[in-house]
């Protein structure tokens, strides 16, 4: 009986190994002008693949900028400053949490935050009409609007549904909506009161006609979730799932074949290792797919994931707060 169980186990492991392949893994840069980095984002454009993150002396330092790099011939270009923390005059604060997104009209958008801290940050954005060759001046978002807080928007018709959250009076999730790429906005209600269910940094998944799911980071020890039954117009109250969460950012996408992919730390706080990839058919039952990193007392965090037109999975994440790592997966 034991031999039979072992045989089945190794067959399952073998099938799982064949189901996914790591096509590429590399650091976006080896050395840089900044000591610390965090919170990367990545986007596919007709010009190529662009990544961005915030970097500086340390998180929260006023000289922290948004840096970016292009993937050219499978190598990343030298990082360059895409945005800084100047707020229209001599006032300067740290930058945080960039989100790159190619809108349906092909306008490339950069959302990010500026502020002395998370509680005091404000939402900002820049635009490019030529896929990132040149960029507009920084635009401050309206008061009370932060834009997508960490994960990419979801498109319904002409509307960008931006998953957002606040941390001022507890961790609360809400959604913001724009029908003109950020020129005007509406804000949905908070989906929780942070007592006891908390959440920030939601990631949106698609489940067929009208049904959406958003998974969030939390302080509850679990990934939390909310569902929409009308294509994101309204959302159910936030609730817990059975997925572990270590009080660190997650990311999730719906793949082209309809399955869902989750990148997260399968561990409890305060650890941020290992960093894991899981897959699901229904957004409820998740199967382990891959361990990206595992090292005791090290930090591998804040993943960002996209699927490109060639069906490959691109994941970027913080590597020990020193570098941004880029991994490409092929999943069958």
DSSP readout, 18-31? HHEEEEEEEES-SS
Asked, for residue 289, whether it belongs to a domain, the answer is no
Of 143, 148, 274, the closest CA to residue 214 belongs to: 148
**CATH number, domain containing residue 134:** 2.120.10.10
Q: Whole-angstrom Cα distance, residue 215 to residue 283?
A: 9
Q: pLDDT 10s per residue in the chain (332 long)?
A: 554 443 344 334 433 443 568 889 999 999 999 999 999 999 999 999 999 999 999 999 999 999 999 999 999 999 999 999 999 888 999 999 999 999 999 999 999 999 999 999 999 999 999 999 999 999 999 999 999 999 999 999 999 999 999 999 999 999 999 999 999 999 999 999 999 999 999 999 999 889 999 999 999 999 999 999 999 999 999 999 999 999 999 999 999 999 999 999 999 999 999 999 999 999 999 999 999 999 999 999 999 999 999 999 999 999 999 999 999 999 88
Asked, for residue 43, whether it belongs to a domain, the answer is yes
Cα 91 to chain centroid, rounded? 28
Asked, for residue 117, whether it belongs to a domain, the answer is yes
Name the residue range of residue 54's domain: 25-140
CA atoms within 13 A on the CB side of 198: 18
Per DSSP, 180 falls in state: S
Q: Please count the other Cβ atoms lying within 10 Å of the Cβ belonging to residue 127.
A: 18
Asked, for residue 311, whether it belongs to a domain, the answer is no
Asked, for residue 151, whether it belongs to a domain, the answer is no
Asked, for residue 106, whether it belongs to a domain, the answer is yes
3 state SS of 85: coil
Of 263, 189, 257, 255, the closest CA to residue 226 belongs to: 189
Cα 146 to chain centroid, rounded? 15
Asked, for residue 251, whether it belongs to a domain, the answer is no
Asked, for residue 166, whether it belongs to a domain, the answer is no
Q: Whole-angstrom Cα distance, residue 278 to residue 281?
A: 11
Count the domains in the chain: 1
pTM above 0.85, yes or no: yes
CA distances from 221 to 89, 192, 224 (A): 41, 16, 9
């Amino acid at each position: 009986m034991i031999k039979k169980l072992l045989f089945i186990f190794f067959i399952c492991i073998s099938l799982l190994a064949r189901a996914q392949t790591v096509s590429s893994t590399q650091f976006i840069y080896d050395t840089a002008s900044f000591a610390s980095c965090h919170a990367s984002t990545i986007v596919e454009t007709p010009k190529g693949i662009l990544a961005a993150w915030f970097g500086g002396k340390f998180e929260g330092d006023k000289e922290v900028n948004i840096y970016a790099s292009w993937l050219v011939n499978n190598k990343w270009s030298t990082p360059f400053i895409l945005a800084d923390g100047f707020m229209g005059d001599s006032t300067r604060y740290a930058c945080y949490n960039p989100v790159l997104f190619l809108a349906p009209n092909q306008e490339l958008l950069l959302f990010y935050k500026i502020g002395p801290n998370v509680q005091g940050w404000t939402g900002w954005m820049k635009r490019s009409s030529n896929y990132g060759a040149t960029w507009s001046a920084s635009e401050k978002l309206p008061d009370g609007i932060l834009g997508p807080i960490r994960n990419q928007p979801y498109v319904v018709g002409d509307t960008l549904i931006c998953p957002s959250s606040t941390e001022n009076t507890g961790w609360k999730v809400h959604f913001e909506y724009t029908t003109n790429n950020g020129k005007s906005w509406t804000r949905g209600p908070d989906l929780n009161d942070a007592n006891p269910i908390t959440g920030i940094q939601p990631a949106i998944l698609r489940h067929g006609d009208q049904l959406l799911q958003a998974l969030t980071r939390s302080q509850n020890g679990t990934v939390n979730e909310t569902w929409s039954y009308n294509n994101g117009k309204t959302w159910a109250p936030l609730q817990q799932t059975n997925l572990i969460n270590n009080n660190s950012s997650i990311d999730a996408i719906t793949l082209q074949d309809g399955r869902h992919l989750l990148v997260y730390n399968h561990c409890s706080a305060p650890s941020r290792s290992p960093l894991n990839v899981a897959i699901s058919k229904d957004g409820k039952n998740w199967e382990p797919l891959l361990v990206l990193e595992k090292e005791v007392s090290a930090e591998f965090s804040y993943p960002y994931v996209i699927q490109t037109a060639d069906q490959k999975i691109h994941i970027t994440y913080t590597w020990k707060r020193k570098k941004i790592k880029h991994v490409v997966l092929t999943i069958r």
